[in-house]
Amino acid sequence: LEAALNPFSVRLDARARWAAEQADAVLARGEGGPLTGLPITVKDSHWMAGIESAHGSLAMAGHVPTETCAAIERLEAAGAVIFAKTTTPEFCYSGITASPLHGVTRNPWNPDRTCGGSSGGSAVAVAAGLGPLSLGGDGGGSIRIPAAFCGIVGFKPTFGLVPREPCADGWKSLVSVGLMARSVADVRLMLSPIAGIHQRDRHSIPALSLDVPTPDVRGLRFAVSEDLGQAPVDGDALSAFRAALDRLAESGAEIVHDHPGLDSSVWTWATIAAADARWSEAHAWEHSRHVLTERTREMLAFGEQVTADEYVLAQYRRERIHRAYVDLFERTGSCALLTPTLGCEAFGHDAYHPGTIGGVDVGPPWLDWAGFLYDANLGGFPACALPIGLGDDGLPLSMQVLGLRGWDGPLLAVAAAIEAVVDFKRVAGPAPHARVEI
């Protein structure tokens, strides 16, 4: 499957065999952590000392960090066997996974379609059965987009719950290190050992109340929005979302239709993200521009044009976005906000965004096709992508389950309850890797 799907940027066979031997010895003594012996992959952008971390860019080829990020240190301390790093687009700046350094990564449900990005290799590895768990990163949907397109669970924790440092300079206030798995239970298994404050990461926060029992959906109250008041949705995505809501209501859940009352946050997100990118990638922009992809050059050029006024105003806008969601939860008394994760199925490799969604053109200047996702990054909210059905082309569709900051344990418990009611495996049929010609 590796050759057919291209999920890995670096294979760590020798390291993995050594770790597996250690795990066998530990388990033989009746000891071990919660992840002992489990094969796990990590995103290429996560630093590991002595291992290349090129971020999918020719400009970064040969970049070998001297430090390991705290999340990976904690994974290995918990007994994980890390056997590969996974592919990303250049600098993780795209919602597809294709780069000049590592090529195109393909969706296991249909290799002619994108897997999404930027944690695309991680999603493909999990969806195709190449390890049950993967560590991803999400600065603007980069876990939730590929999770949605590949039919798996993708969880972006509260900002800072999983420490990110040491890492690259960019998107310090946007990226959450998160988790990708085939079930909410597996996400919860992986989260506890790596969550919590770490002194090297000034953004990290304590892990509180992660071990929450899965509730019965009967009596749970959900705020629901089909479009957040502004996001386009294809008919099949809307039908799958409504069908999932119907199953929840039939099981006794209370559905309250509401939304935060905001316009699209794409300007706010793009202003901050592009300006941060310009200066994070300053050396590549100033010295290796000729090897950068067109998409990366567009991002960095836009970032160079962002004024100080615009950047500061975008930061002010974040506060209003955060407050709008707090007000929504107080107004509705809900345990989670449910929306589609994306408004469409995975598209082909000939584009880096869909041409239209729900009859609405997607184009410059904002390429706004992920309007359900930015607010969780801007507000620091936890958000989980759950597969809920298949679209007209037989590809996965997904629901986003979003909560307020610090609600990670209760939110995952609620997501597990929703997962049991929706029962995606019953809807989807055979595992996606059964469709891939090797």
User: Has 118 been annotated as catalytic?
Assistant: yes
How many angstroms separate the CA atoms of 206 and 196, rounded? 4
**What tokens does 254 get?**
């209370």
- Look up residue 237 and give its two tokens: 């995505």
Burial call 404-415: b when 16+ CB within 10 Å, e when fewer: bbbbbbbbbbbb
User: Does the active-site annotation cover 172?
Assistant: no
- Selected catalytic residue, list 43, 99, 204, 334: 43
Q: What is the dihedral of CA 237, 239, 240, 244, to 10 degrees?
A: 140
Please give, one letter per residue, the 3-state secondary structure of 74-132.
HHHHCCCEEEEEECCCHHHCCCCCEECCCEECEECCEEEEECCCCCHHHHHHHHCCCCC
Q: Which entry of 134, 142, 265, 398 is annotated as an active-site residue?
A: 142
| Cα distance between residue 321 and residue 325, in whole Å | 7
Whole-angstrom Cα distance, residue 91 to residue 102? 12
421: its two tokens: 């009611």
Residue 142 bears catalytic tag: yes
State the amino acid at position 263 in one-letter form.
D
From 9, 99, 118, 398, the catalytic residue? 118
* Number of residues assigned to the chain: 438
Give the residue ranges of DSSP H helices in 163-281: 184-194, 235-250, 266-280
Q: Which residues are catalytic?
A: 43, 118, 142
